[in-house]
A and B are shown apart, each in its own frame.
Chain A
Amino acid sequence: MKKRSRKAFSWLWFMIGILYFFIPLLSSFLFSLRGKKGVLSFVAYQHVFADPQFLKTFSFSLEMAIFTVIVGLALIVPTAIWVHLRVPKAKPILDVFALLPFVIPPVILAFGLIRSYSRPPLALVQTPALLVAGYVIVAFPYIYRSVDAGLRAMDLRGLTEAAQSLGSGWLSTIFRVILPNLRTALLSAVFLTFAIVIGELTLAVLLAWPAFGPYMALVGRNLAYEPAALAILSFALTWGSIAIIQAVSRGTPGGRSNLGGTH
């Protein structure tokens, strides 16, 4: 009896959790269908697609997200591997760094970036490079945490030494042994980075870029049904990009059909 009631209890909590996430999503979706009086229609979606700004801002943000992922991974993955293998004492320092983006508000970050990079020799305010750099900082904790967890889950030292004793240098050890076993962790890092960058508002506004976040905010201020449609669309698009990444990386050598990279 006791066991059964406990089971019912955990199901109850699970349902509450599901509802908590899905009720707002569902209500925005239903609301987005009311563009025409009296009937449910996709007219709000038609308006969204008809606006050239939508595709322009979304593709801009997507581009920024791709660059953020590339720069972020290139910066963080080797660092995390190196710290794990060679300087484990430096781990607490990285852990503190990984907290900073939460502690420092994006507004402060944006003003800091503008002040530092608006005059020579590093006048970067006019280039999207600065926006990507800012996004890398914002995404850093998510990428670092994922990679760190992935490295912990495998026998990094053992695998590295085994590869080395078989004649493998650093590059081939990283690309043939470590990265394939980090697949799940890297996917989640990419996923989180996409989700953050595509909806990001503060940095994009303050650095004055026509990104998707500011566009959504603008539309939200002026229209009623379209913002809801946009929210649903951006949700679907984000998930869609993740699905594509998953599908692509599944076919790579070393990747297995199940996501469990380490056993």
Chain B
Amino acid sequence: MAFLELHEVVKSFGRNTVVRGLSLNVDKGEFVSLLGGSGCGKTTTLRMIAGFETPTDGSILVGGKDVSRVPPNRRNLGMVFQNYALFPNMSVRRNIGFGLRIAGKHGAEVERRVDEMLELIHMEEFAQRYPHQLSGGQQQRVALARAIAIQPQALLLDEPLSALDAKIRVRLRDDIRAIQQKLGITTIYVTHDQEEALSISDRVAVMREGLIEQIGAPFEIYNRPATPYVAAFIGTQNLLGATVIDPAAGIVSVEGQSLEAGHPLDAKVGEELRLRVRPEALSLGRSGPNRLGGRVASQKLLGSIVRLVVRVGDTEVFMDGFNDPLLKLPAVGEAVTLSFSPEACTFAEPGAEPIAAAALEDEEETP
């Protein structure tokens, strides 16, 4: 039996149903991210686990006990908020010790535990400071220490890094993961940042309209998206109009060029499909069995990645490669061949894509 269980949880605010029968099982010590755009119900779900919202229907079990109606202060769950929510009237030491003192622990015991926590977040020398004397990253470390000082059954984090700078965000997320693994604490992490979710989670739950679209290990989510929405939401996808030529052999035609799907297609001859292939699955040259000829339309430098935009017929295709100082990129206007393996492509019905690849460009936040 899972340690944390959500059974068919529903949450409505008046007529507005935000969570629509969501079920989720989290094992002890597991790190699960709830990932989704704004309004997908991820924060509401977390707040129901924390006890700040009561489910309209369904139940939430922690350690086998139904806590759906238990007030937040009796759930023993540590919570970290987006805006830190440190107590401004207390020093770092008193903030971290707050939960222990509320629990009636004795002075020496509290002090010992607080010292442990300060060491864990590497902030021993800041013990006497007040929150307003700390940077955002430091405040969030203190908030994390405060939440785990009470040895909670699970740790809940609500977009904890959204208010921080890109560099600090990356460092702190690695710290969060390291601390989580060291303590083996069950963790639910809410974020809208897919890179964050993919990089630190054991499993990622992609949410949409109050339900989980897909839940799985980060590699699974990225490489084998189960639904068109997940495929479009995670990472960048090239969407190519493909005409089925031989369904049994899995042969399609894209802009007049024949490609292999690698498996038989459940479609009729002449049917229009959408072929999805990720920019990083493409490479220059003739190495793979699937080849597309086109002309370079532009180059974009995305830091460690170089993106070539290649015009294939009427479609623009993205190709991502590592930015290597020795790399010699084809000039704009040059004819190139892109190749990729049959395994790299997936298919969808035309019009099934809720988000166009071009629109996704803006959503990606590359730190």
| A positions within 8 Å CB-CB of B | 154-155, 158-159, 161-169, 172, 176-177, 180-181, 183, 254-256, 261-263
Contacts and interface: CB of A to CB of B under 8 A. Distances in A.
A155 B85 contact: yes
B90 interface: yes
B31 interface: no
A159 B87 contact: yes
A169 B103 CA distance: 11
B258 to A, nearest CB: 59
Nearest to A173: B73
B274 interface: no
Given A161-B79, A263-B131, A166 B99 contact: yes
Nearest to A166: B99
B72 interface: yes
B73 A262 contact: no
A165 B99 CA distance: 8
B50 A165 contact: yes
A167 B76 contact: yes
A168 B74 CA distance: 9
Contacts of A155: 83, 85
A71 to B, nearest CB: 26
Given A162-B79, A165-B79, A262 B72 contact: no
B229 interface: no
B162 to A, nearest CB: 14
Given A159-B85, A261-B88, A263-B131, A167 B103 contact: yes
B89 A165 contact: no
Contact of B72 (A165, A172, A180, A263): A165
B73 A181 contact: no
A247 B252 CA distance: 84
Nearest to B101: A176
B72 A161 contact: yes
A169 B73 contact: yes
A256 B156 CA distance: 31
Q: Which 6 A-B pairs have the closest CB atoms?
A: A263-B132, A166-B99, A158-B85, A165-B79, A162-B85, A180-B89
Contacts of A159: 85, 87
B89 A256 contact: yes
B141 to A, nearest CB: 15
B126 interface: no
A254 B98 CA distance: 12
A262 B88 contact: yes
Contacts of A255: 89
A161 B73 CA distance: 9
Interface string B68-97: 000111111111010101111110000000
Given A155-B83, A165-B72, A168-B73, 7 more contacts: A161-B50, A165-B78, A166-B102, A167-B103, A181-B89, A254-B90, A255-B89
B55 to A, nearest CB: 17
Given A162-B79, A172-B102, A167 B85 contact: no
Given A155-B83, A158-B83, A172-B102, A165 B88 contact: no
B154 to A, nearest CB: 11
A183 B90 CA distance: 13
8 contacts: A161-B50, A165-B79, A165-B156, A166-B99, A167-B103, A255-B89, A263-B130, A263-B132
Q: Which of A154, A164, A168, A177 has the most CB of B within 10 A?
A: A164
B150 interface: yes
A50 B83 CA distance: 60
Contacts of B83: 155, 158
Contacts of A158: 81, 83, 85
A172 B87 CA distance: 13
A257 to B, nearest CB: 11
Contact of A165 (B77, B90, B130, B132): B77
B350 to A, nearest CB: 46
Contact of B81 (A161, A169, A181, A256): A161
A157 to B, nearest CB: 9
Contacts of B89: 177, 180-181, 183, 254-256, 261
Which of A159, A163, A165, A181: most chain B CB closer than 10 A?
A165
B98 A166 contact: yes
Nearest to A262: B88
A261 B89 CA distance: 7
Contact of A167 (B88, B131, B143, B150): B150
B48 interface: no
A184 to B, nearest CB: 11
